[in-house]
Amino acid sequence: MELNDIHPFTISVPDSDLTGLYKKLELTRLPDELDLPINQQWEWGMPVAVLKPIIDYWCTQYDWRAVEERINRTLPQFTTHIESRAHGPQNIHFVFKKSKNPSALPLLFVHGWPGNFLEVSKMIDELTNPLDPKHPAFHVVAPSLPGFVFSDRTSTPGMDAIGTAFVFDKLMIKLGFKHYLAQGGDWGARVCRALAIYHKESCLGTHANLISYGAPTFWRNPLISLKLVLGGKGIPGGYSAEEMAGLQRMQEFLTSGNAYMRLQGTRPQSLAYALTDSPAGLLAWIGEKLYAWTDNYPWTPEELITWTMLYWIKGPGGGLRYYKENHIIHRGNRAGPHAELEFGWSSTPFAFSLFPKEVAPLPLEWAGLCQNLVYAKKHNKGGHFAAWEVPELLCEDIREFARIVERLDGRLRLKV
């Protein structure tokens, strides 16, 4: 195997796979459901009244070949083998678009679940070749996580965020980038955290739109604990009503919105049987998250189906297993296998963007608990998939962060 080869990649789903997909769609059997008030229907999962029209669209109007052609035309894709930390060579799929600007900075963009590499598509042109020449430009690399979409899975356990960071750091170096910045949401934020801790000589700064480390405690953060108490009582000096509402949103997510997380983090294989065999089931499993985690984003049937297709093509198992690989049920455990990721300090410059409909919109100052926070911005719109929902806002935050890191670290030199 030639590990130095980087191969252009074109998505080309076999006709036989599409034929099998449509046969399964035609045989879809939908469950019954309770008669519920409209404001309670989503509390039980994706309503049939929402799902069925999308399935009908999939069967009669959706054109995968047109979508496939558009992705291949607009996003330059590649694959290459990267030697992993403990699993041998891994075949990694990635988008790679270079800027025309010779002073451009390398930027690693990392997605999560149920996201995918397409999330970068709404920003990639403006990041690589901005309309305003005063803006910094970037060489953008957007890989698929191991086991996700077109990146191969491992055959043995252990490919977690730390292992992923190892692979992605090697990918950036293989592409010729000795130093780079990284951005991530969802699991991408966790991978960026691992880059900041374990690869700080090459990853010179990370930006995230999700805080991926542990919550403050009274003994380690007494002032924050006091502000929580004061904010809960509406006393001046505590967190604002808006900040307390964000914390309440997080609590609601933990109590009524994270069943998927516990299932994927404990018995992903059992779930994989159902979702690998039922495109309608996979659409409901993913689609419910896309609706619930965004800020009233107007998802089109084509978008919902395309995001589902990217998990259907090679199977959703790798994405489901990633939760167990990352010991999700041990989050917050100081003796757990990822304690350093959760609670360790990193001096790597960090920027954080807060969007109000994130599943856990925590106070801005929490972003600096475990990493060197140099920039933070609170926005008044956007949710969990900021790169897709409000790409212009996330793009501007990335630019501002890059300017700051350039001033802090001479190894990054912006000449624009």
Question: Which residue is catalytic, options 139, 375, 384, 397?
Answer: 384
**Which letter does DSSP use for residue 120 in this model?**
G
Question: Which residue is catalytic, options 323, 338, 379, 397?
Answer: 323
To the query of whether residue 384 is one of the catalytic residues in this protein, the response is: yes
DSSP-based three-state secondary structure for 14:
coil
Question: Which residue is catalytic, options 152, 186, 295, 397?
Answer: 186
Contact predicate 147/159, CB 8 Å: yes
Cα distance between residue 285 and residue 114, in whole Å: 9
Other Cβ atoms less than 10 A from the Cβ of 248: the count is 12
Cα distance between residue 297 and residue 291, in whole Å: 8
Contact predicate 203/181, CB 8 Å: yes
To the query of whether residue 323 is one of the catalytic residues in this protein, the response is: yes
Burial 215-226 (b: 16+ CB within 10 A, else e): bbeeeebeebee
Residue of 328, 389, 358, 330 lying closest to 250 (CA atoms): 358
CA dihedral sign of residues 316, 322, 327, 332: negative
Give the DSSP H or E segment for 96: strand 89-97
DSSP-based three-state secondary structure for 396:
helix
Strand 138-143: give its sheet, edge to edge. Answer: 6-9, 77-83, 89-97, 138-143, 105-110, 180-184, 203-208, 346-354, 371-378
- Known catalytic residues? 186, 323, 384
